[in-house]
A and B are shown apart, each in its own frame.
Chain A
Protein backbone atom coordinates (compact mmCIF):
# COMPACT_ATOMS: atom_id res chain seq x y z
CA UNK A 1 0.00 0.00 0.00
CA UNK A 2 1.28 3.45 -0.89
CA UNK A 3 0.26 5.08 2.39
CA UNK A 4 2.37 4.52 5.48
CA UNK A 5 1.63 5.65 9.00
CA UNK A 6 3.17 6.38 12.36
CA UNK A 7 0.27 5.20 14.49
CA UNK A 8 2.26 2.60 16.42
CA UNK A 9 4.91 5.18 17.39
CA UNK A 10 2.30 7.82 18.23
CA UNK A 11 0.41 5.38 20.44
CA UNK A 12 3.68 4.61 22.25
CA UNK A 13 4.41 8.32 22.70
CA UNK A 14 0.91 8.89 24.06
CA UNK A 15 1.31 6.71 27.10
CA UNK A 16 1.04 3.39 25.28
CA UNK A 17 -2.48 4.23 24.15
CA UNK A 18 -4.23 0.97 23.38
CA UNK A 19 -5.69 0.20 19.98
CA UNK A 20 -9.10 -0.04 21.66
CA UNK A 21 -8.73 3.43 23.21
CA UNK A 22 -7.73 4.89 19.85
CA UNK A 23 -10.59 3.07 18.15
CA UNK A 24 -13.07 4.59 20.60
CA UNK A 25 -11.65 8.09 20.05
CA UNK A 26 -11.84 7.70 16.28
CA UNK A 27 -15.21 5.92 16.22
CA UNK A 28 -14.14 2.71 14.49
CA UNK A 29 -13.55 -0.86 15.64
CA UNK A 30 -10.25 -2.07 17.08
CA UNK A 31 -9.89 -4.35 14.04
CA UNK A 32 -10.03 -1.32 11.76
CA UNK A 33 -7.28 0.40 13.75
CA UNK A 34 -5.19 -2.79 13.48
CA UNK A 35 -5.76 -2.91 9.71
CA UNK A 36 -4.79 0.77 9.34
CA UNK A 37 -1.72 0.38 11.56
CA UNK A 38 -0.54 -2.61 9.51
CA UNK A 39 -1.06 -0.65 6.25
CA UNK A 40 -3.71 -3.12 5.10
CA UNK A 41 -6.47 -0.53 4.92
CA UNK A 42 -6.29 3.11 3.86
CA UNK A 43 -8.74 5.12 5.99
CA UNK A 44 -11.08 7.76 4.64
CA UNK A 45 -9.94 11.36 4.89
CA UNK A 46 -12.34 11.92 7.78
CA UNK A 47 -11.01 8.92 9.74
CA UNK A 48 -7.45 10.03 9.00
CA UNK A 49 -8.18 13.48 10.46
CA UNK A 50 -9.87 11.89 13.47
CA UNK A 51 -6.75 9.76 14.11
CA UNK A 52 -4.48 12.80 13.83
CA UNK A 53 -6.83 14.69 16.15
CA UNK A 54 -6.68 11.86 18.69
CA UNK A 55 -2.92 12.41 18.91
CA UNK A 56 -3.21 16.21 18.63
CA UNK A 57 -0.83 16.30 15.67
CA UNK A 58 -1.26 17.40 12.03
CA UNK A 59 -2.33 14.81 9.48
CA UNK A 60 1.10 14.66 7.83
CA UNK A 61 2.64 13.59 11.13
CA UNK A 62 0.52 10.43 11.04
CA UNK A 63 0.29 9.51 7.36
CA UNK A 64 2.70 9.87 4.48
CA UNK A 65 2.72 8.90 0.84
CA UNK A 66 5.30 6.28 -0.04
CA UNK A 67 6.76 6.84 -3.51
CA UNK A 68 7.40 3.93 -5.84
Chain B
Protein backbone atom coordinates (compact mmCIF):
# COMPACT_ATOMS: atom_id res chain seq x y z
CA UNK B 1 0.00 0.00 0.00
CA UNK B 2 1.47 3.36 -1.05
CA UNK B 3 1.95 6.35 1.24
CA UNK B 4 -0.89 8.21 -0.46
CA UNK B 5 -3.32 5.31 -0.14
CA UNK B 6 -2.50 5.09 3.57
CA UNK B 7 -2.97 8.85 3.79
CA UNK B 8 -6.44 8.44 2.24
CA UNK B 9 -7.23 5.81 4.90
CA UNK B 10 -6.05 8.26 7.58
CA UNK B 11 -8.35 10.91 6.15
CA UNK B 12 -11.29 8.47 6.04
CA UNK B 13 -10.74 7.31 9.62
CA UNK B 14 -10.07 10.73 11.15
CA UNK B 15 -13.03 12.42 9.47
CA UNK B 16 -15.27 9.43 10.25
CA UNK B 17 -14.31 9.15 13.91
CA UNK B 18 -13.96 12.85 14.79
CA UNK B 19 -17.05 14.15 13.01
CA UNK B 20 -18.97 10.93 13.69
CA UNK B 21 -18.39 11.73 17.36
CA UNK B 22 -19.32 15.38 16.84
CA UNK B 23 -22.63 14.67 15.11
CA UNK B 24 -23.51 11.80 17.45
CA UNK B 25 -22.95 14.02 20.51
CA UNK B 26 -24.92 16.87 18.96
CA UNK B 27 -27.77 14.54 17.96
CA UNK B 28 -27.98 13.14 21.49
CA UNK B 29 -28.10 16.63 22.98
CA UNK B 30 -30.57 17.93 20.41
CA UNK B 31 -32.48 20.66 22.17
CA UNK B 32 -32.03 23.78 20.11
CA UNK B 33 -30.97 26.19 22.83
CA UNK B 34 -28.69 23.70 24.56
CA UNK B 35 -27.28 22.23 21.35
CA UNK B 36 -26.43 25.67 19.95
CA UNK B 37 -24.33 26.51 22.98
CA UNK B 38 -22.72 23.09 22.92
CA UNK B 39 -22.12 23.14 19.18
CA UNK B 40 -19.53 25.93 19.02
CA UNK B 41 -17.27 24.35 21.61
CA UNK B 42 -17.79 20.92 20.09
CA UNK B 43 -17.05 22.17 16.59
CA UNK B 44 -13.82 23.87 17.66
CA UNK B 45 -12.87 20.73 19.58
CA UNK B 46 -13.63 18.53 16.57
CA UNK B 47 -11.53 20.68 14.22
CA UNK B 48 -8.60 20.76 16.69
CA UNK B 49 -8.90 16.98 17.21
CA UNK B 50 -9.03 16.43 13.44
CA UNK B 51 -5.84 18.45 12.91
CA UNK B 52 -3.95 16.74 15.75
CA UNK B 53 -5.03 13.19 14.83
CA UNK B 54 -4.31 13.77 11.13
CA UNK B 55 -0.82 15.18 11.87
CA UNK B 56 0.03 12.34 14.25
CA UNK B 57 -1.22 9.55 11.94
CA UNK B 58 0.36 11.07 8.82
CA UNK B 59 3.65 11.45 10.69
CA UNK B 60 3.49 7.79 11.74
CA UNK B 61 2.87 6.53 8.19
CA UNK B 62 5.54 8.91 6.85
CA UNK B 63 8.04 7.18 9.14
CA UNK B 64 7.29 3.93 7.30
CA UNK B 65 7.63 5.61 3.89
CA UNK B 66 10.69 7.86 4.25
CA UNK B 67 11.40 7.88 0.51
CA UNK B 68 7.92 8.63 -0.79
CA UNK B 69 6.41 10.73 2.00
CA UNK B 70 8.01 13.97 0.79
CA UNK B 71 8.09 13.09 -2.89
CA UNK B 72 5.64 14.87 -5.19
CA UNK B 73 2.68 12.81 -6.40
CA UNK B 74 3.37 10.94 -9.63
CA UNK B 75 1.07 11.14 -12.66
CA UNK B 76 -1.20 8.25 -11.61
CA UNK B 77 -1.58 9.60 -8.07
CA UNK B 78 -2.35 13.07 -9.45
CA UNK B 79 -4.97 11.60 -11.81
CA UNK B 80 -6.53 9.67 -8.91
CA UNK B 81 -6.59 12.82 -6.76
CA UNK B 82 -8.35 14.79 -9.51
CA UNK B 83 -10.95 12.07 -10.17
CA UNK B 84 -11.69 11.69 -6.45
CA UNK B 85 -11.85 15.48 -6.02
CA UNK B 86 -14.39 15.71 -8.85
CA UNK B 87 -16.68 13.12 -7.25
CA UNK B 88 -16.34 14.89 -3.87
CA UNK B 89 -17.20 18.25 -5.44
CA UNK B 90 -20.41 16.80 -6.92
CA UNK B 91 -21.30 15.48 -3.46
CA UNK B 92 -20.69 18.85 -1.83
CA UNK B 93 -22.60 20.69 -4.58
CA UNK B 94 -25.67 18.48 -4.07
CA UNK B 95 -25.57 19.21 -0.33
CA UNK B 96 -25.15 22.96 -0.83
CA UNK B 97 -27.98 23.18 -3.38
CA UNK B 98 -30.28 21.24 -1.07
CA UNK B 99 -29.38 23.48 1.88
CA UNK B 100 -29.89 26.70 -0.09
CA UNK B 101 -33.41 25.44 -0.69
CA UNK B 102 -33.74 24.56 3.00
CA UNK B 103 -32.73 28.11 4.01
CA UNK B 104 -35.17 29.64 1.52
CA UNK B 105 -38.09 27.69 2.96
CA UNK B 106 -37.13 28.80 6.45
CA UNK B 107 -35.20 25.95 8.05
CA UNK B 108 -33.45 26.81 11.30
CA UNK B 109 -30.06 28.42 10.52
CA UNK B 110 -28.32 26.40 13.22
CA UNK B 111 -29.59 23.15 11.73
CA UNK B 112 -28.62 24.26 8.21
CA UNK B 113 -25.13 25.27 9.41
CA UNK B 114 -24.62 21.80 10.84
CA UNK B 115 -26.02 20.12 7.74
CA UNK B 116 -23.59 22.23 5.69
CA UNK B 117 -20.77 20.99 7.87
CA UNK B 118 -22.11 17.45 7.41
CA UNK B 119 -22.05 17.96 3.62
CA UNK B 120 -18.40 19.00 3.79
CA UNK B 121 -17.54 15.99 5.96
CA UNK B 122 -19.43 13.60 3.68
CA UNK B 123 -17.66 15.02 0.62
CA UNK B 124 -14.28 14.44 2.34
CA UNK B 125 -15.33 10.86 3.18
CA UNK B 126 -16.44 10.33 -0.43
CA UNK B 127 -13.11 11.72 -1.66
CA UNK B 128 -11.11 9.37 0.58
CA UNK B 129 -13.26 6.37 -0.41
CA UNK B 130 -12.93 7.23 -4.11
CA UNK B 131 -9.15 7.57 -3.76
CA UNK B 132 -8.90 4.19 -2.04
CA UNK B 133 -11.12 2.57 -4.70
CA UNK B 134 -9.04 4.07 -7.53
CA UNK B 135 -5.75 3.10 -5.87
CA UNK B 136 -7.06 -0.48 -5.68
CA UNK B 137 -8.43 -0.72 -9.19
CA UNK B 138 -6.69 1.80 -11.47
| Chain B interface residue count, Cβ-Cβ cutoff 8 angstroms | 10
Given contacts A29-B2, A29-B68, contact A43 B77 (CB under 8 A): no
Contact count A vs B, C-beta below 8 Å: 28
State which size class the interface on A falls in. Answer: 10 to 19
Near B by CB (< 8 A), chain A positions 19-66 give 27-32, 35, 40-41, 43-44, 47
- List A contacts of B135 (CB < 8 A): 31
Q: How far is the CB of A28 from chain B (nearest CB, A)?
A: 4
Q: How far is the CB of B46 from chain A (nearest CB, A)?
A: 32
- List B contacts of A43 (CB < 8 A): 75-76
Indicate if the CB atoms of B77 and A29 lie closer than 8 Å.
Answer: yes
Indicate if the CB atoms of B68 and A32 lie closer than 8 Å.
Answer: no
Of the candidates B5, B74, B138, which one forms a contact with A27 in the assembled complex, judged by CB atoms under 8 Å apart? B74
Name A's interface SS: loop
Indicate if the CB atoms of A32 and B75 lie closer than 8 Å.
Answer: yes
Near A by CB (< 8 A), chain B positions 58-79 give 68, 74-77
Q: Is B137 an interface residue (CB 8 A)?
A: yes
Q: How far is the CB of B65 from chain A (nearest CB, A)?
A: 10
Write the chain A residue with the least CB distance to B2. Answer: A31
Given contacts A29-B2, A29-B68, contact A35 B74 (CB under 8 A): no
Listed residue (B2, B5, B75, B77) with the most chain A CB atoms within 10 angstroms of its CB: B75
Write the chain A residue with the least CB distance to B76. Answer: A32
Indicate if the CB atoms of B138 and A40 lie closer than 8 Å.
Answer: yes
| Chain A positions near chain B (C-beta within 8 angstroms) | 27-32, 35, 40-41, 43-44, 47
